[in-house]
Structure 1
Amino acid sequence: MAAKDELGRAGEERAAQYLTRHGYTVLDRNWRCSQGEIDIVAARGGHLSVIEVKTRRSEAFGHPLEAIDDRKRRRLWGLAFAWKAEHPDLAHGLALRLEAIGIIGTDPAVGSLEHLVDVS
């Protein structure tokens, strides 16, 4: 596995742990379909959250959350609706929301973490 992939997976693991500690129920991780991949799908407080995780070693190329532009948000919405359609039993009655977690540090387990609850 490439170093970039390892960094990303470590960031996703940290994000999942963070979400669980903050009352989310992680329903799915690294879900794929023809449109792409969702890092984390979680539920909390009447919301079904599709969560994009961006991990960077530093801010040399900008803050990780800056990578979530309009094009990325449109793609995430499409993925969110596809996931919801494939999992009607888990998604029933929950409002969809896009969230993002940015992690900065050479070790994602201890790097700084920022969580944006609504990036729509």
Structure 2
Amino acid sequence: MNFLAEKLGVSLETFKLTVAVFLLILGITAFYSFSGISTLVRVIGLLVFVGGAAAIVFQTELGRLLWQFVVDSRIEVRKVVWPSRQETLQTTLVVIAMVLVVGIVLWLFDLILMAILRFLTG
């Protein structure tokens, strides 16, 4: 009995995801098929199809896991200590200075190698 319930649950999940993908494809096809209609109306229709597909996906286990991931990600972003404006400016200036220094060193290295190559090849 348990095996049958699990199999039915998996097939229902697959069916829901298939219907959601079908709705997305149908919405995109309708958006481009009705090019004579106002763009605003077509976008609203596309958003209705995407919303319907999202509602179906969030009824599945995969959708619930995805939503939990989004919630957990937002919680983690709130924990981040963002740098101040002064720290960001100082770090940016250090990066720019180092890029310039490395660029000049590589340019000088290239000049030296070219001079050596010209000397060797005549």
TM-score bracket relative to the smaller structure: under 0.3
Structure having greater relative contact order (Cα 8 Å, sep ≥ 6): 1
TM-score w.r.t. length of structure 1: 0.25
More helix by share: 2
Structure (1 or 2) with the larger CA radius of gyration = 2
TM-score w.r.t. length of structure 2: 0.25
